[in-house]
Amino acid sequence: MDSLQVSAIKDGTVIDHIPASRLFDVMSILNLHSCQEMITFGTNLDSKLLGKKGIIKVANRFFLDNEIDKIALIAPNAKLNIIKNYEVVEKRLVEIPDTIVSVAKCFNPKCITNHETIPTKFMVVSKKPIELKCMFCEKITTEDEVVIKNDRDE
């Protein structure tokens, strides 16, 4: 049971079913490194769906749809449990938005976004498998090629 491996929270959000290899990317996208609330996470937990999965619990944080949907790029099976007073009051799946801004890097090394300080912008041309069309160089970045932008890239 995951709940025994990672301690419970009273109020907040649990993000489950994150591929273990993408756990830190998810934390980066959600800017959790600057979050002052209590955060617990576990990784390499057994998962029937993913083999190995990660889980993040953030106390007293409730994410907006447009914040959380950004993680769909790298964790399309992620599930959110909204916790209030130790009870799950809502479950949500993530959904890939139609445009992705300032989250991923363009795969094309000759794209201007990899050479100047520019927020990247992609149009999602396919949601399964994920294919992103760069709004600058027009090249396609596929699911396997998605690299998450760090704040340091800005």
Q: Which of 36, 43, 74, 75 is nearest to 58 (CA)?
A: 36
Q: Which stretch binds other proteins (CB under 8 A): 44-52, 67-75, 78-86, 112-120?
A: 112-120
Nearest CB to other proteins, comparing residues 30 and 103: 103
Taking the complex as a whole, the smallest distance from the CB of residue 37 to other proteins amounts, in Å, to 36
Q: Contact with other proteins (CB under 8 A): which of 20, 39, 59, 118?
A: 118
Among 111, 130, 132, 146, binds other proteins (CB under 8 A): 111
CB 88 within 8 A of CB 81: yes
List the one residue from 113, 122, 130, 146 that touches other proteins (CB under 8 A): 113
> What b/e readout covers 95-111, taking b as 16+ CB neighbours within 10 angstroms?
ebbeebeebbbbbbeeb
For the CB of residue 142, give the shortest distance to other proteins in the complex, in Å: 11
Out of 39, 136, 143, 145, the residue judged to bind other proteins by CB under 8 A: 136
What amino acid is encoded at 74 in this protein? Answer: I
User: What would you measure as the largest C-alpha separation in the chain, in angstroms?
Assistant: 50
Size of the site for other proteins (CB under 8 A): 16
Tokens 């399309």 label which residue?
A: 76
CB 120 within 8 A of CB 106: yes
Q: CA 31 from chain center: how many Å?
A: 10
Contact letters (x/-) for other proteins, 80-109, by CB under 8 A? Answer: ----------------------------x-
Q: What does the binding site for other proteins look like in residue numbers (CB under 8 A)?
A: 108, 110-113, 115-118, 134-140
